[in-house]
Structure 1
């Protein structure tokens, strides 16, 4: 899926980008990238439904009720209800897997845990993005690791 972009991806030592992500320069942002982002978010949506069903009882048994796993989308931190990946090339757009539940949490952040899928950031004229790299990582495993960490 990302083979055409692999040559353009590089580790950005200045920004210390997590190795689960690839840096996308603004010059490579195009329709094919949009298609890849949409596919990544669809995969994320499928996985969230399956894993929520799988882990709901396990969380409940630990007093962590109402487990919810979903794709959260925001632009500049403002969550957009019923948003789709159609806006993925708007600057400051971010999509992420969000995990939350009722009960005591490890920290007081807005969600118990998140895994970023795509974030398009940048300055006034230039921009870049970070994209979860499916060629090197397994999204399902990363979500499950986050869930297990929240259970411990």
Structure 2
């Protein structure tokens, strides 16, 4: 299924940001896709935990306290308590790697930086975008984002 999904990329005119995603049409939104999303989110959770530990002291020595890196999930922008990747095929579900420091709260939109993993818009014509692990290195992208955040004053 994953190889089949790679056939749904944006046109050649896509920019670098949208190039990171496999476009998933309504007929591809199924249980097989759900397994790929679950695996992607588990990988994101592992990378987030490892990189948060690795970068925490670097952030603190730069005066940036309370680094938090995690997989954030919401439906239509609302962070719902207990939302898991099992609900990833629901309409308007979105998951992302979120990064924040200094003053983190559990409130909606509390994170400052993010990397989208999966998002799905359901309506008459459902369409989704899945982070393309076959072309991009998620761990490196998280590390690059953390490095950029460290450079900011």
Using the size of structure 1 for normalisation, the TM-score is: 0.88
Matched, 1:135 2:141: no
Distance across 2 between alignment mates of 1:41 and 1:101:
21
Structure 1 pair 100–37 and aligned structure 2 pair: CA distance change class (3 A): same
Q: Which consecutive aligned stretches of 4+ in structure 1 deviate over 3 angstroms post-superposition? A: 12-17
Distance across 2 between alignment mates of 1:24 and 1:138:
20
| Contact map agreement 2:5 2:23 (CA 8 A) in 1 | no
Per-residue deviation, 1:112: 1.8
Distance across 1 between alignment mates of 2:13 and 2:92:
20
Segments of structure 2 that go 5 or more residues without pairing to the other structure are 104-108
| Paired position in structure 2 for 1:147 | 146
Per-residue deviation, 1:111: 1.5
Per-residue deviation, 1:135: 0.4
Per-residue deviation, 1:13: 7.0
Aligned positions of 1:78-117 closer than 5 A? 78-102=78-102, 110-117=110-117
Matched, 1:41 2:60: no
Matched, 1:5 2:5: yes
Segments of structure 1 that go 5 or more residues without pairing to the other structure are 104-108
| Paired position in structure 2 for 1:24 | 24
Structure 1 pair 2–34 and aligned structure 2 pair: CA distance change class (3 A): same
Does the residue aligned with 1:11 lie in a helix, a strand or coil?
coil
Using the size of structure 2 for normalisation, the TM-score is: 0.88
How large is the Cα RMSD of the aligned pairs? 1.9
Q: Which structure has greater strand proportion?
A: 1
**Count of residues paired in the alignment:** 145
